[in-house]
Amino acid sequence: MSQSAAPARYHPLSVLMHWATALFALVAVGSILVLTQFDLSGPARGTLGTIHMVSGQAMFLLQLLQLLLFSAFGTPVPDGMDPHQVHVARFLHAVLYGTVGFLACSGTLLAVSQAAGNVVLGWRVPLLLNGQGLTALREVHAMAGFFFVVFCGAHVMLALGMHYFGRRATLQKMAVEGELVDYLAAPRQDGGYARIDRPDIGGPA
């Protein structure tokens, strides 16, 4: 899609999913920090582990749905002072999505491996990784989580820099406007993004 055909704003559902993803990311990072920094045991440890896993998988699911919306309705051109900064912004978005996907897949494999031998819904969970493999995967997962936090920080700093110093009104593209019901059911026809009920209006050429 060419830059001239790109919408001026993100799709309303994409905006909501973006902020929901950010919330789940905070929950996932916060829960694992509490779990690793404090000597917890018993139900509290299991609960935090479950919260971390569920929030991570929810974040992955939301990003998959966002990609579907991007494919159907397009996205605005990332803000940048020059084409190089635009490419950096695109690359950073791609790295963020890829990191979330890796974390979700590796986290699922970790959970299944740790549950090996247990019976779930009449099915005995098989042993997928031995002790060394499980330890290595856990370390890689933790390293990917660290880089995810770094990438998120860079994403936030870049957006704030473009908005406040580059005068690009970057944050306005991600602002939630109007009542939630109106936002979901009938986005403005002249808002620069596609209509939910009329994909032919405001969508990519």
| Residue at 193 is within a domain | no
Q: Is residue 65 part of a domain?
A: yes
Q: Tell whether 163 is covered by a domain.
A: yes
Partners of 124 in the β-ladder: 119
Q: How far is CA 112 from CA 27, 58, 155, 199, in A?
A: 21, 17, 32, 41
Q: Please give the tally of structural domains in the chain.
A: 1
Give the residue carrying structure tokens 């999505």: 97
Beta strands in 121-188 (DSSP E): 123-124
Retrieve residue 126's tokens.
């098989």
Residues forming beta bridges with residue 120, ordered by sequence position = 123
Residue 158: inside a domain = yes
**pLDDT tens, per residue, the chain with 205 residues:** 444 466 777 777 888 899 999 999 999 999 999 988 887 777 888 889 889 999 999 999 999 999 988 888 878 877 777 788 888 888 989 999 999 999 999 999 888 887 777 777 777 777 777 778 888 999 999 999 999 999 999 999 988 888 888 777 777 777 776 555 565 555 555 455 444 444 454 444 4
List the beta bridge partners of residue 119.
Answer: 124
Report the CATH number at residue 166: 1.20.950
> Which H or E run includes 24?
helix 12-37
Domain that holds residue 108: 9-185
Determine how β-strand 123-124 pairs with β-strand 119-120.
Answer: antiparallel
pTM metric for this prediction: 0.76
Domain-located, residue 192 = no
Chain CA centroid to CA 190, Å: 28
**Cα 76 to Cα 1: distance, rounded to the nearest angstrom:** 10
Q: Is 200 contained in some domain?
A: no
Is 1 domain-assigned? no
Residue 205 lies in a domain: no
Residue 22: closest CA among 156, 195, 124: 156
